[in-house]
Amino acid sequence: MAALFSPLTLRSVTLPNRIVVSPMCQYSAERGEATAWHMIHLGHLALSGAGMLCIEATAVEPDGRITPGCLGLWDDVTERALVPVLAAIRKHSKIPVAMQLSHAGRKASSHVPWDGGQLIPVAEGGWMTHAPSAIAHKPDELPPLALDTAGLNRIREAFAATARRAARLGIDVLEVHGAHGYLLHQFLSPLANHRTDEYGGSRENRMRFPLEIFEIVRAAFPADKPVGVRVSATDWVDGGWTLDDTIAFAHELKKRGCDWIDTSSGGVSPLQKIPLSPGYQVPFAEAVKKETGITTIAVGLITDPAHANELIESGKADCVAMARAMLYDPRWPWHAAAQLGATVEAPPQYWRSQPRDQKALFGDISFGQR
């Protein structure tokens, strides 16, 4: 069996293969509520044959949205809006469904990408953002409000409440978003965190609040269901968060019951310089896995099935997560299985789509027709 199509068990959840559909912001919610777009978008990705589908970064409070169009799960209304989306997925697919819990911190209150993605001033319909320190993401932006004790408590409860709502919705897996320059990453990085209390200064102090949030989410979600963390393994800026810091963070997360580390990078500073190439972030997953033994997910310009399979086969990572490549080719797992001689789950309505030279792609099936 191709390593990419071997199963992986995380607590009570078994992924049929090692392909994960990454959480991808769609900026198409209304007041945080899922819409018909989410039904279409997540519905067709649920039929992709991937091992797990992760719902986009989901804000734990309104001020935690990246944009006014970001998905949220903070009250009964936003919870109800996800019910029909998940029901449709469950009716037609066995795919495990994950959700990424997020707070954008100082990168909140932004225009959607196709409208430029820049900070929206309060006078133009934006909102004041919150962060570890009153340091703007870009020099020309209004600085965020530094979180005080009450603010930290509010965010702690927001993550806990959202995790409980996710459990009530029947979400199988949670991922805590600690990457891409959003709130928890802002606490980790010395570029964004200039606090002088127990949440700033030393690496141990800067890790404290993200670790607290992980513990809160872990405690609020059923113990038999897995919880992982996405990290930015490096800031790609001198003086910022590094791979060594990430390994130390992963050690602490593992002690607290973290089930995997999803290793991305960057996002906390516009000064970052990222050398893009296929699999450019894989060494981060490999290093974290080697140093800590924790399950890792590799991301970043992984588009070739043979390359993805080699990453799993060689032990560089345990899963590969795909975003843009999956949008471009929503049947990428089918095509990868055909190339590697594996099988994938597919709904019976699609069984007749198998090419004549790939009759085993969907397993041992038959399809009669009058």
> Which is it for strands 13-15 and 8-10: parallel, antiparallel or unpaired?
antiparallel
Name the pTM for this structure: 0.95
3-state secondary structure of 110: strand
pLDDT at position 250 is 98
pLDDT at position 160 is 98
**Residue-wise pLDDT tens digits, 201-242:** 999 999 999 999 999 999 999 999 999 999 999 999 999 999
Residue 145: exposure state from Cβ atoms within 10 A (0-12, 13-18, ≥19)? middle
**Residue-wise pLDDT tens digits, 101-141:** 999 999 999 999 999 999 999 999 999 999 999 999 999 99
Radius of gyration of the chain (CA): 20
The dihedrals phi and psi of 101, each to the nearest 5 degrees, come to: -90, 135
What is the C-alpha separation between 103 and 167, in angstroms, rounded?
19
Alpha-helix runs per DSSP H in 125-281: 149-169, 183-188, 203-220, 243-255
Q: Which domains does the chain have, with CATH numbers?
A: 3-353 (3.20.20.70)
182 belongs to the catalytic site: yes
The answer to whether the CB of 230 falls within 8 A of the CB of 179 is yes
What is the C-alpha separation between 156 and 177, in angstroms, rounded?
14
CA 72 to chain CA centroid, Å, is 14
The segments of the chain whose pLDDT lies below 70 read: 364-370
How far CA 146 is from CA of 154, 211, 221, 327, 369, in Å, comes to 13, 19, 29, 37, 65
